[in-house]
Amino acid sequence: MNPRYVCVPLFGPPGVGKGTQGGILAHIPGFFHLSVGDVFRSIDIGSDNGREIYKHISRGELVPDELTIKIWRKAVEAYVALSWFKPREDLLILDGMPRNVHQVEMVKAYLDIRKVIYLKCTDEEDMIHRIRRRAIRENRIDDANEDIMRHRFRVYREVTALVLEQYDSSIIHEVDANGSPAEVLHSILDCLIPVQNSLFDANRRAEETAE
């Protein structure tokens, strides 16, 4: 039986700040941030999976569902084996998945999603400007072409945005991504701390029962 990880996805359009906030959370004990996009970019481009992934992200398209789940599972299992991610202690902060309605169903076997953090920004041009700066700073070729960037936003509006409708509104925590990084982080932590506390409490009770 596959383990189910207690998880809170970071959700929102490209350039909204998911990676920035996830990177900050990664330095706080009790949180483990996993960016599916970073996992994709770390794969050897000369491998079969690497070539398939590059073919899609270089066009601003979503990587096929089955390959996405396969690569994600391998990454998580590796992090658990290395003890970088300790599921009994760490809340999984997932960035970049699920990306479509089908993936919402696929991840149910692996994820116990307690909340969804929706980073909301209505200024698409501002986000495109952020992505341009990121492309230069991080040498991300998938962000360098404006036509590809705008195609990614179309994919988000037409495909990925529908993911939110699959979750009960009571677990969706909206965050105004236009604020300062500190303000955005404050709002995110307001959502995450109770989830993290419930994980700690459940593990403590399990340990006491085992004794």
Per CATH, the number for 5-210 is: 3.40.50.300
Domain ranges across the chain: 5-210
Question: Per-residue pLDDT for the chain (211 aa), expressed as one digit of tens each?
Answer: 567 999 999 999 988 889 999 999 999 999 999 999 999 989 998 899 999 999 998 888 999 999 999 999 999 999 999 999 999 899 999 999 999 999 999 999 999 999 999 999 877 777 777 777 776 666 665 566 778 888 888 999 999 999 999 999 999 999 999 888 899 999 999 999 999 999 888 878 877 777 6
| Interval 180-211: pLDDT, tens | 889 999 999 999 999 999 988 887 887 777 76
Q: Of the candidates 83, 30, 82, which has an alpha carbon nearest to the alpha carbon of residue 199?
A: 30
pTM over 0.75, yes/no: yes
